[in-house]
């Protein structure tokens, strides 16, 4: 699949206009407007692809996830709520969540393969105990993260798995910077408690 890497004026026009042009396109898509969908794809696909590639690193998987994102936009455009944020933020949030889901899926597959490989080992080799211990610790962290409230889990995931700054996270989730900082601080505090680690 060929993904254009230059946004030809669409984003600049959106930033300059006071109205949410992307939101207008999403509402048109909800009504079944294929031309609006094509305009949205042409305008935002490069930016969405860049976000996904930043999370996944793998270009082929990023292209697959890009297609999944735009399919989800086509199918769920009617659920877009303009009062909760701008259209571009809604789309970037979908893209980021899809990318994180893919990371988790790949990681789970790797973990299953690793566990199967460990079972097949007839004898214990040097370093196996350390790897098993690291895997168990990783599972503890993942389980502890799952017990956090969604907002805190999302903020920490964007920061530590996605590599985003607090300002970027605020823009992605459509929340004030102070709220994001609080979510991260509270999330880390609760994560330490869940893990039994003293502050």
pLDDT at 14 over 50: no
Whether pLDDT at 111 is above 80: no
| 146-156 tens-digit pLDDT | 888 888 888 88
Rounded Cα distance between 82 and 84, Å, is 5
The whole-number average pLDDT for the span 167-190 is: 88
* Residue ranges of the chain that CATH labels 1.10.10.10: 122-199
Residue 19, pLDDT above cutoff 70: no
CATH number among 1.10.10.10, 1.10.540.10, 3.40.190.10, 3.90.1170.10, domain 122-199:
1.10.10.10
Alpha-carbon torsion 190, 164, 43, 98, what sign?
A: negative
Residue of 67 and 110 predicted with greater confidence: 67
The pTM assigned to this predicted structure is 0.50
**Tokens 């969604």 sit on residue:** 150
pLDDT above 70 for 186: yes
- Looking at the chain, which residues constitute the CATH 1.10.1740.10 domain(s)? 1-120
For the chain, the residue count is 199
Ranking 10-14, 43-47, 78-82, 93-97 by mean pLDDT, the lowest is 10-14
Banded pLDDT at 121 (limits 50, 70, 90)? low
Asked if 36 and 30 count as a contact pair (C-beta separation under 8 A), the reply is no
SS3 label, residue 119: helix
Comparison of pLDDT for 128 and 14, the residue scoring more: 128
Residue 137 pLDDT greater than 80, yes or no: no
Higher pLDDT, 50 or 139: 50
For 1-120, CATH gives 1.10.1740.10
């Amino acid at each position: 699949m060929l993904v254009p890497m230059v946004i030809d004026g669409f984003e600049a026009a959106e930033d300059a206009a006071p109205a949410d042009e992307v939101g207008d396109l999403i509402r048109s898509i909800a009504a079944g407007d294929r031309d609006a969908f094509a305009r949205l794809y042409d305008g935002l696909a490069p930016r969405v692809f860049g976000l996904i590639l930043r999370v996944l690193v793998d270009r082929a998987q990023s292209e697959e996830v890009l297609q999944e994102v735009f399919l989800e936009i086509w199918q769920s455009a009617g659920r877009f709520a303009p009062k909760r944020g701008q259209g571009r933020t809604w789309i970037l949030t979908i893209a980021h969540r899809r990318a994180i889901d893919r990371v988790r899926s790949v990681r789970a597959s790797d973990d299953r393969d690793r566990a199967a490989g460990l079972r097949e080992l007839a004898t214990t080799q040097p370093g196996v105990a350390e790897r098993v211990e690291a895997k168990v610790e990783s599972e503890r962290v993942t389980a502890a993260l799952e017990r956090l409230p969604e907002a805190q889990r999302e903020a920490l995931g964007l920061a530590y798995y996605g590599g985003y700054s607090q300002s970027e996270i605020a823009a992605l989730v459509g929340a004030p910077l102070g709220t994001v900082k609080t979510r991260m601080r509270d999330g880390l505090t609760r994560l330490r408690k869940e893990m039994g680690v003293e502050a």
